[in-house]
Every structure is written in C-alpha cells, then in structure tokens.
Amino acid sequence: MTDWSTVPQPLGESRWSFPSPERWPPSDLIAVGGGLEPATLIGAYRRGLFPMEVSALEGQLGWWSPERRGVVPLTGLRVTRSMRQSAKRFEIRVDTCFREVMRACGDPAREDGWITDEFIDAYSALHDMGWAHSVEVFDRQGQLAGGLYGVRINGLFAGESMFHVQRDASKVALMALVRLMQNTGMQLLDVQWCTEHLASLGAIEVPRAQYLALLAAALGVLQR
C-alpha cells in the first residue's frame, strides 16, 4: 500500500461565503446555492460543511452540517475476524484510479444516489490538486473490488462515499484508511451521518458543537 504524502496545491479565494456557525439554523441543511470550485469546497470542509444536492429543491446544491455528526473514532473501528480474513484476499492501493472509484460510488443503480458528473468533475479536480484521495481494493485478478474516497485537510479525512462489488471490500478499504490515518498522525474521520451500517463498524454520533471542536483540533495538525 502506498502513502498519500502529496502536498496539496494552494487555493485562491472562493467567490462564495458561508454563514458563521452562530448563524446556522437548527437543521442539517445550512445553506443553498454556490458552486463546486476547489476553493469553495475546501473552505466548506474547513468550516464543517459538505455539499450534497437538495432533492426537495429540484436538485439545488445544498451545504450540510448534521446536528448529529457521524464520526469513526480511529481507535474504535470494529474489525471482525471475517474482515481480517477478507483483507488477506485483497491488495490496497491509494490514488491510482480516483475517478473510477467515484464513478462506482455514483452508480445510478445504487439507492439514493447523489454523485453526479458535476460532483465527479469537481472532486477529480481536487484530487489532481492533492486535496482528495481514494483508497482502492483490488482482488487477486487485478479487478477493482471496492473502495472509498474523500477529502484530506491536515488531520481531517472527510469521507464522502464507499462502494463494493465483492464481499467486505469496502470494509477492507475503511480498515486501510484508518491505518493510513493512524500512521500519519491524523485525528478525525468524518462520515457525515451515522448510518446503521457505519454504526456496525464503530461509527458514533457527536453533537454539532463537539464536531466543530474536533474539527478545529484536526485542522491544527501539521500534514505529513
């Protein structure tokens, strides 16, 4: 497994601004509109926000910060014997096929799919600039079996989505991500909402204010 030691390229100023947390409404949806330019995306993650379309508003772009935020404590990932056995069948790679991972995560056949071509282009641009990363799981025949992608800023990894086409492949990708984060001194693995599946792997919910405090600490970690 390779590392992700790429130094991100500098960003300019975003043409959009976000409200400060004291002005956020008591809901998961904080703002609507704007665009997916690199500076806007990274600025949003630094403030505890992430983008996703708002289906109730005809697909307009929304900026979200769940009141109950899902995180995976790096010492709390639940690794079963089955997952350990599955890991032996796969090879882990990092950043070798980012766009392919995103396309698999955005498969229209998946329930509640939201990853459009616009998102793929935007995050691929972040990847090219060293801000977004993928963890990929390949089988012994060299076929992509699963993976995940997200955004790294200092000690934060903001997980966006994961997929699998072979049993346990996405779980193995998550195991590899946590190991990478531990090996590079990172602190915070954000998974947005704590789904039942993620909870079974060790994800927990924290109040928004606590998440913002954890985020501030993670952003203060020097990247290595």
Q: How far apart are CA 173 and CA 204, in angstroms?
A: 19
Give the tens place of pLDDT for each residue, 117-176: 999 999 999 999 999 999 999 999 999 999 999 999 999 999 999 999 999 999 999 999
pTM: 0.96
Same domain, 213 and 115: yes
Is residue 137 within 8 Å of 144, Cβ to Cβ?
A: yes
Same domain, 39 and 129: no
Give the tens place of pLDDT for each residue, 10-21: 999 999 999 999
Same domain, 51 and 101: no
User: CATH number for the domain including 54?
Assistant: 3.30.70.3550
pLDDT(1) > 70 = no
* 148, containing H or E segment: strand 144-153
* Single-letter residue type at 152: R
Output the six-digit token pair for 203. Answer: 């994800």
Range of the domain at 55: 21-66
Is 91 part of any domain? yes
Q: What's CA 21's distance to the chain center, in Å?
A: 21
Same domain, 108 and 52: no
